[in-house]
């Protein structure tokens, strides 16, 4: 029993140490910059990511179906406590916000490579990743647990607008 507790304690310490080794700055996310478009079942999508500027990046998104807006998003990524943090808000037509004014959706950066970043919600039920596949392609992947706890994946394959 002591050996098991020691092993569990050791693994916990290793996990904490590993979790704290992620080092990232907003400038590391420059691969996301550009105007990205996609034709999707929800509608025509356009996601604009400005390049990093100081300690932040901004994004605006719109989804339009049959000439009418379905919804908008406004996203900022800000350097917070040593890591980039994504803060997102959704809006209906007319700029009517979904989230409370002082409670944007928050996603902490949990993984980063040269061309991919993964953000995760505080409750660990949603992951949002951005991966630059080549100069003109980027996948945005939404992984979310449904009400039964089963992971559902939606892949958005964007093309860089010329």
Q: Is the pLDDT of residue 70 over 90?
A: yes
The answer to whether 57 and 47 have CB atoms below 8 angstroms apart is: no
- 4-24 tens-digit pLDDT: 444 454 444 444 444 457 899
- Considering the segment(s) 24-160 as one domain, its CATH architecture is Beta Barrel (2.40)
Strand ranges, E, within 82-150: 83-92, 96-97, 105-112, 116-120, 126-134, 137-145
- 79-127 tens-digit pLDDT: 999 999 999 999 999 999 999 989 999 999 999 999 999 999 999 999 9
Domain range summary for the chain, segments of one domain joined by + = 24-160
Instruction: Put residue 28 in one of left, alpha, beta given phi > 0 → left and psi -120 to 50 → alpha.
Output: alpha
């Amino acid at each position: 029993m002591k050996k098991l507790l020691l092993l569990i304690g050791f693994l916990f310490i290793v996990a904490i140490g590993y979790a704290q080794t992620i080092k990232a700055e907003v400038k590391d996310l420059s691969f996301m910059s550009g105007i990205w478009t996609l034709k999707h079942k929800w509608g025509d999508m356009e996601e604009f990511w400005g390049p990093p500027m100081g300690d932040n990046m901004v994004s605006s998104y719109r989804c339009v179906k049959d000439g009418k807006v379905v919804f908008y998003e406004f996203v900022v990524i800000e350097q917070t406590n040593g890591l980039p943090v994504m803060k997102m808000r959704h809006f209906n037509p007319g700029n009517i916000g979904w989230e409370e004014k002082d409670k944007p959706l928050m996603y902490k950066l949990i993984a980063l490579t040269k061309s991919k970043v993964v953000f995760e919600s505080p409750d660990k039920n949603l992951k949002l990743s951005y991966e630059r596949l080549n100069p003109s392609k980027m996948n945005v992947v939404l992984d979310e647990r449904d009400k039964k706890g089963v992971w559902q994946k939606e892949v958005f394959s964007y093309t860089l607008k010329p």
